Amino acid sequence: MIPFRGMKEFPQEKYIDLENNPYLLGRVTIYHVKEDFHAEVDIIHKESHKIFKHVDIVYNQYSSEEALITGVQRLRLFLDKVEKAVNKPKDDLH
């Protein structure tokens, strides 16, 4: 079946390079369900595209662009939490 001009096919995958890790990628997969858009946010292995860590799912967005933006924000929040946990001072052990 040939899609109509201007129609987007779903699911759509968008990839985000992770600055400090050459082996992993961020991935936001956008789904069109009825009138809404959902986004699944994962960290995947760059070569195999297998899921390394499932981050979040975003539901009920009004557009694919909004789902993508929200998905990228959730990925950023997750990565910020991981970075803070890794850089936490070790003084708490005393």
> What's the rounded Cα separation, in Å, for the pair 91 and 76?
27
Query: What is the band of 2 on the pLDDT scale with cuts at 50, 70, 90?
Result: very low
Mean per-residue pLDDT, 87-93:
68
- Given a cut of 80, whether residue 90 has pLDDT beyond it is no
Question: Degrees (nearest 5) of the Cα angle 70, 72, 73?
Answer: 60
> What's the rounded Cα separation, in Å, for the pair 29 and 12?
6
Q: What is the dihedral of CA 53, 48, 16, 23, to 10 degrees?
A: 80
